[in-house]
Amino acid sequence: MNVQATLREKMRSGTLHMTLLDPNKQAPDMAAKITGEACELGTDAIMVGGSTGVTQENLDATIVAIKARVDVPVIYFPSGAHAISPHSDAIYFMSMLNSRLVEMTTRQQMKGAPIVRKLGIEPISMGYVIVAPGMKVGEVGQADCVPRDRPDIAAAYALAAQYMGMQSVYLEAGSGAPQHVPEEMIRAVRSTIDIPLLVGGGIRDAEAASRVRKAGANIVVTGTIVENGNYRDRLASIIRAIKD
Ligand code: 1GP
């Protein structure tokens, strides 16, 4: 399966939804159960990753369990080169463009690239841009978060990503953010770049998902909502808001 080609083809007919699971937050069998439900509800791909606590063991076990349950692409969303799973269908090969740390922009990538090649995992390059408040990922990555009232800065980072040859851009407010990325910022980025735009962080209900979609996200990512029980109706309404 060529994951990127598959997703791009699907994007031609509308916005996609991806479900993000942190392998450190539930047992592999629970991760498989959640992703099974998410797929029944229409999620287009599963992303696996977290800012802290991802180990080779919990990553491998989680991805193996998920792949035994669902047929959609399973994409690793890494926090570094310390753990890379041969079981994922693809890896977001990303650079946190507004990090102050060389580790986050290029050095972990240098460490990871030969491993990705050796394991034969499909890399999907991505410019990762952290928007305030940034939450844990902004803190761990020492990001100069894009201020919420500066869509021009987000658009400039996104355009830089495109000019550097990256295949996608992710605007990230941070997992559990009280507010998602502002619509004006999403619109500014969408109208500046030609490559796919992912938006995530703080999207907890159908209204928010609909706003993010209408502002121009090609892929809407949700994570936290599936971490608590009783998420089914809410996830269903979010996916409907993205697809209808
Ligand atoms: C985190 O953007 C994702 O990388 C998902 O955020 O957990 O807030 O849905 P939430």
- Is the pTM for the entire model greater than 0.85? yes
Residues 6+ apart with CB under 8 A from 123: 90, 91, 93, 116
- In this structure, are residues 160 and 187 in contact, taking their beta carbons and an 8 Å threshold? no
Question: For 19-76, how does the pLDDT look when each residue is reduced to its tens digit (9 = 90+)?
Answer: 999 999 999 999 999 999 999 999 999 999 998 899 999 999 999 999 999 999 999 9
Report d(CA 164, CA 166) in Å as an integer.
6
Q: What percent of the chain has pLDDT over 90?
A: 97
Q: Which residue among 46, 48, 169, 175 is best mutated to probe the pocket of ligand 1, counting the most ligand atoms within 8 A of its Cβ? A: 175
Q: Which residue range(s) make up the domain with 186?
A: 3-243
What's the pLDDT band for 137 if we cut at 50, 70, 90? very high
Instruction: Tell me: pLDDT of 1 over 80.
Output: no
Cα(153) to ligand 1 centroid in Å equals: 21
Instruction: Tell me: pLDDT of 15 over 90.
Output: yes
Report d(CA 243, CA 74) in Å as an integer.
20
Report d(CA 222, CA 240) in Å as an integer.
13
Say which CATH number the domain at 11 has. Answer: 3.20.20.390
Does residue 99 sit in helix, strand or coil? strand
Cα(176) to ligand 1 centroid in Å equals: 6
- Name residues contacting ligand 1 (CB within 6 A): 20, 172, 175-177, 200-203, 221-224
Q: How many domains does the chain have?
A: 1
Question: For 73-97, how does the pLDDT look when each residue is reduced to its tens digit (9 = 90+)?
Answer: 999 999 999 999 999 999 999 999 9
Q: Which atom of ligand 1 is nearest to the CA of 224?
A: 7
Report the Cα–Cα distance between both ends of the chain, in Å, rounded.
27
DSSP conformational letter for 16: E
What's the pLDDT band for 229 if we cut at 50, 70, 90? confident
Residue 47: beta bridge partners? 20, 75
Q: Which atom of ligand 1 is nearest to the CA of 177?
A: 8
Cα(84) to ligand 1 centroid in Å equals: 20
Q: Which residue among 136, 199, 212, 222 is best mutated to probe the pocket of ligand 1, counting the most ligand atoms within 8 A of its Cβ? A: 222
